[in-house]
Structure 1
């Protein structure tokens, strides 16, 4: 979970001074993995590092720092009786205070890594750490959060996939609300019908134009979920989707609907192997047909989705296809 500068800047813009708490090291059993973070301000917070008393005490320490304490603090805590917890592990927590000036001065010698000194007694920056960060800065995967000799390094880039949902009906809106807080997705909810996007969830991009416009503006590696109010519109979008590059395609509907669509898409000139790149039905039928249940099943499929090849236009393994 890389350093999210935009989320931090948004919080600072609203609240003025914000403390960021991040788990930098986790040993043994712990509620959340290393890299998990949360923000705290004078009268509220967002996110969670988990752990009950661990989070409560970390927030109290952050509140003291907001009142004029140190700008950065490293704490090591055992998740045992002293915290009234029985996880058995141990964590290292770094808390830092940010304001507008701090953010403006936030600089790094690396393109995608935020490196800073979090312990005032830290020795000079280790040469081995610099070499490690230079390699990580050009790697294909983000750096894992690293604390070494009082120096903290975090990736500043976040791999994310655009998700386009066509239809803001019951299921489309429910899916958007499930995906909205997940940082690995940037979700677009498209619907040309008046009023359907009026209560678009926070964090979701609304696209009120024609269905085809939303699709034409989608990124090449986007995931698409087609769930309009009419079968002919669904078919047209499937036709358009199969005519372009995409990472994942899902169509709401039954096996019978998909059988009919397959025949019509073949008649439109799409080869079988291309048609197979759209998944229908979507979700997990064992969860039921309630919109939120369907949305949870679809979101789970998306979370498990991994392209077979980096530039592949689709790709689900057999386990995912049978879900």
Structure 2
């Protein structure tokens, strides 16, 4: 899906006026966080500030602004009394009639948000890798998709995914930022093992996952121990990935379960950065 700034630029370029609605404050239990936003045009909306009665009020107010003004307003909404929603929190919405400066400000905010996203390195562009890339592309992550086989990547890369053709995947493990996540599912068990070992030696991965079975994990653990590595590090390895769902091996299903695993892992407190 296009960023709101791109959508807004298109609307304004076609002469379609719009209002940018932003969650200015969010206190207590609220459906969206501060900074969440949506666009409201006369006949369309994009994005969301939480849905339900709250969003209906925002849309109705925005459309009155397009017809009657003012150019900016605040809505101070306690969710229980004002909207009949049971969240119980308190939301302040800022509504502003959009112009070119709004587009520029929105684009700058989107760039800052993108730069702050955690990195996820996806190794392997086979059939499961392609399903993973499609599942992760819309999520708030920086997805780096790596394989040495350029021909394995699809002709169209999902928006927001960085395609990297490389024969040196370990260099990318070494260069990854602290707190990154890693998904290892290449065409070679030997290469999987080398990458997984490099990830575990960093010790700062938010998520370290390797595709496989219980048998593959046992083989990796023997291989890892034979190289003199710290056995305690193996507790940080998720293998098999997507183990919460057994018996269904369709790539798209595996990708959905693994996406949930990764998001939960990124929500945990960051681990200290070190290598060994």
Measured against aligned partners, the alpha-carbon deviations of 1:213-242 in whole angstroms (never above 9, x if no partner) come to 543543233111001122122123223334
Q: TM-score of the superposition, structure 2-length normalised?
A: 0.74
Whole-angstrom distance in 1 between the partners of 2:183 and 2:252 = 15
Q: After the TM superposition, which residues 1-323 of structure 1 pair with which residues of structure 2 at under 5 Å, given as runs? A: 7-16=3-12, 18-25=18-25, 31-41=31-41, 44-66=44-66, 69-77=69-77, 87=86, 89=88, 91-102=91-102, 159-183=116-140, 185-191=141-147, 192-210=149-167, 212=169, 214-244=172-202, 246-247=204-205, 248-286=207-245, 288-289=247-248, 290-305=250-265, 306-307=268-269, 309-311=271-273
Hey, which of these two has a bigger chunk of helix by percent?
2
What 5-or-longer segments of structure 2 have no aligned partner?
A: none
Q: Secondary structure of 2:245's match?
A: helix
What 5-or-longer segments of structure 1 have no aligned partner?
A: 1-5, 107-113, 115-155, 314-323
Measured against aligned partners, the alpha-carbon deviations of 1:78-135 in whole angstroms (never above 9, x if no partner) come to 667996x65374643221233323455x6xxxxxxx9xxxxxxxxxxxxxxxxxxxxx
Cα RMSD (Å) of the superposition?
A: 3.6
Whole-angstrom distance in 1 between the partners of 2:221 and 2:87 = 54
Q: Cα–Cα, structure 1 residues 55 and 13, in superposed 2: closer, same or farther, change >3 Å?
A: same
Q: TM-score of the superposition, structure 1-length normalised?
A: 0.65
Deviation at 1:166, TM superposition (A): 0.9
CA contact (8 A) 1:189 1:206 kept: yes
Q: Cα–Cα, structure 1 residues 50 and 100, in superposed 2: closer, same or farther, change >3 Å?
A: same
Choose between structure 1 and 2 for higher RCO, CA contacts under 8 A separated by at least 6 residues. Answer: 2
Deviation at 1:251, TM superposition (A): 0.5
